[in-house]
Structure 1
Amino acid sequence: MKLDDIKPDIVHDVTGTYCPVPIAETAKQIKEMEIGQILELIADDPGVVEDIPAWCSSTGQEFLGMYEEDGEYHLFVKKVKELT
């Protein structure tokens, strides 16, 4: 799947926040979503480039990819299982 083809169900902007807020907000949003839905997280903390894929790996969610534009990172996460 190309990033241009991704249609997020929820867009969540956490710009202006830093670790651990982007991870905590991602977890909160994923818990509220249905399996199969896609979250687009917008952040300006460069730590998310490593943190979000690692979080996805540790929680069993699917990291679909990311791009950077004008100092903002757009990360895409697909919910594939319930968080415990």
Structure 2
Amino acid sequence: MSTEFNVTETLDVKGLGCPMPVVKTKQSIDSLDEDGVLEVVATDSGSMSDIKGWANTTDGVELLDQKENDEGGETVYRHYVRKTE
């Protein structure tokens, strides 16, 4: 996956567990214009598979990248989703 894109909006879902990261991601992506890129910042490790699965089965979105980083002693998961229609 490439990191060659510009983030349109960032969604912070840190502290939220399944299924809320996906629910909030869908709500935010719906409000973006076509080709907009949403960065989702989560602390739920399940968000890696949940958001990937959601993006792979949802028309109009494309998962661009996912990253796992240690930020201040906390594992943070960043997901980059493009609205394609």
Deviates more, 1:53-62 or 1:18-27: 53-62
Could you say which structure has the higher helix fraction? 1
C-alpha RMSD of matched pairs (Å):
1.1
Q: Give the equivalent residue in structure 1 for 2:5.
A: 6
Gaps of 5+ in 1: none
Structure 1 length-normalised TM: 0.89
Measured after TM superposition, the shift of residue 7 of structure 1 is 1.8
Q: How many residue pairs end up in the alignment?
A: 80
Partner in structure 1 of residue 80 of structure 2: 76
Residue of structure 1 in register with 2:67 after alignment: 67
| Stretch of structure 1 that moved more, 13-22 or 57-66 | 57-66
List runs of 5+ in structure 2 lacking aligned partners: none
If the length of structure 2 is used for normalisation, what is the TM-score? 0.88
- Counting only pairs closer than 5 Å after superposition, residues 19-58 of structure 1 correspond to structure 2 as 19-58=18-57
Q: Distance in 1 between matches of 2:37 and 2:64?
A: 9
Cα displacement (A) at 1:53: 1.0
Amino acid across the alignment from 2:39:
E
More strand by share: 2
Following superposition, the deviation at residue 2 of structure 1 comes to 2.6
Task: Provide the rounded CA distance (Å) in 2 between the counterparts of 1:73 and 1:53.
Answer: 12
Percent identity over the alignment is 31
Runs of 4+ in 1 over 4 A off after TM superposition: none
Q: Structure 2 CA distance, aligned partners of 1:7 and 1:34?
A: 13
1:7-35 per-position Cα deviation (integer Å, ceiling 9, x unaligned): 21001110000001101000000110111
